[in-house]
């Protein structure tokens, strides 16, 4: 619930497959479907710690991933959830509660460990999609 309104996570995309679109300070964790689940969880946790440190160092208390970038670029929500095109029964039953993917980086889930290492551990925290405030 944000400002008295229930957040419909299934109507939103994930930013870097970790943060929820237009939801202040909200992260969700999903592992890999094609490798060890915990590999992705470990990267996501490292990213969250980096994000929180960045916020503390810069005096921010809020982040909001926005699908409309500061340069006007817009990510478009796709029908695939963060689990991709998997058709297992347990995934299909959960489709109505899982967040969606976007049509471009960093809104599209790669399920690629090497790409995610670069994105989550080494790329700058601030970019055109992530808004910070005090």
Each residue of 45-70: pLDDT tens digit?
A: 999 999 999 999 999 999 999 999 99
Contact 41, 32 (CB under 8 A): no
pLDDT at 41: 98
pLDDT at 89: 82
Structure-token match 């995309």, residue found:
13
Kindly report, residue by residue over 84-102, the tens digit of the pLDDT: 877 778 778 878 888 999 9
Structure-token match 């689940």, residue found:
37
């Amino acid at each position: 619930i944000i400002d008295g309104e229930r957040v419909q996570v299934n109507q939103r995309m994930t930013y870097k497959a970790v943060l929820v679109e237009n939801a202040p300070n909200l992260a969700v964790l999903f592992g890999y479907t094609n490798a060890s689940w915990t590999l992705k969880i470990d990267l996501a946790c490292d990213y969250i710690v980096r994000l929180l440190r960045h916020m503390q160092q810069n005096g921010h208390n809020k982040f909001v991933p926005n699908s409309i970038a500061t340069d006007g670029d817009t990510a478009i929500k796709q029908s695939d959830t963060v689990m991709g095109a998997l058709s297992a029964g347990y995934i299909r039953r959960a489709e109505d509660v899982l967040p969606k993917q976007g049509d471009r980086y960093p809104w599209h889930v790669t399920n690629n460990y090497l790409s995610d290492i670069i994105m989550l551990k080494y790329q700058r925290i601030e970019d055109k999609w992530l808004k910070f405030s005090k």
